[in-house]
Structure 1
Amino acid sequence: MRHRKSGRLLNRTRSHLKAMFQNMACSLFKYEHLKTTLPKAKELRRFVEPLITISKIDTVAHRRLIFSRLYNSEIVNKLFTIFGPHFKNRLGGYMRILKCGYRIGDNTILAYVELVDRKSQK
């Protein structure tokens, strides 16, 4: 039985989910926005927001912890130099999820994911 198991599986294995969310998080931190399906966006929020919260305090232990989740030193440096100080006074809710229509083919709901108060607005 699947009682009290949190998170969406999205019809993927755990290793696939981990790799997918690592890649999506790196893309989100690199470009500050992305377009994906709504369930993936909601699950990405559970992966990304704790990383930003950890990046508010710049210590070696926190850098190693985030590197163990993202495996990209360029993104880790950007997190601690740009996003950590930027979100210093915000207690949570670093991401915005906006529904943007339906995908042609399978009619799934698409969503834009962007960081709140990002510098390069559309």
Structure 2
Amino acid sequence: MRHRQIGRRLDMDGALRRAMFRNMATSLMLHGQVRTTVPRAKELRRFAERLITIGKRAPSQAALAALSGDDLTAAKADRVAAYRRVAAFLMNDDAVTRVMTEYADRFQSRPGGYTRIVKLSRRRPGDNAAMAVIQLVEAYEPAAATEGESASAAE
């Protein structure tokens, strides 16, 4: 019986499951979206949201510039610790940098829900599994493009 068990087994042992989610989370942070099965997407959401929250809670570079003395030392230590926690899970330095800078700034005002799961049609060859795309919520909404489009629409 699965009393109080957190997470899905997905018919894998723990090491394989962890490796798969590390790879998928890295791809999600680098590309903004990943196409996978629905149960895997739902499980990946837990890891991705946790990583972005760690990046958000770390002091930003702008906050570090405003500090001095012991406060600066403590804030730098907090930032390094958060960077290392994210780097321990993700498998690419570019993905870690994106989480700590770009995504932390982008989602600063959002209390959670950084990802969305869009269900696709079923995979026909093979097992007919339900497919989905998991994507970062604001990854495809650049501010410059929306301003340009709204200005041209107003004319």
TM-score bracket, normalised by the shorter chain, equals: over 0.9
* Greater percentage in helix: 2
Aligned-pair distance for 1:120? 6.3
TM-score by length of 2: 0.74
Structure 1 segment 96-111 matched on structure 2, within 5 A: 96-104=116-124, 105-111=126-132
Which position in structure 2 is the counterpart of 1:16?
A: 16
**Residues 39-91 of structure 1: CA distance to partner in whole angstroms, max 9, x if unpaired?**
00000011110100010124111001111112422211111111110000000
Paired amino acid for 2:22: Q
- Specify the SS of the correspondent of 1:36: strand
- Specify the SS of the correspondent of 1:55: helix
Paired amino acid for 2:86: I
Flag the structure with larger Rg: 2
TM-score by length of 1: 0.93
Calculate percent identity across the aligned residue pairs: 44
Which position in structure 1 is the counterpart of 2:135?
A: 114
Moved over 3 A (4+): none
The size of the alignment, in residue pairs, is 121
Q: Could you tell me how far apart the structure 1 residues matched to 2:47 and 2:36 are?
A: 15
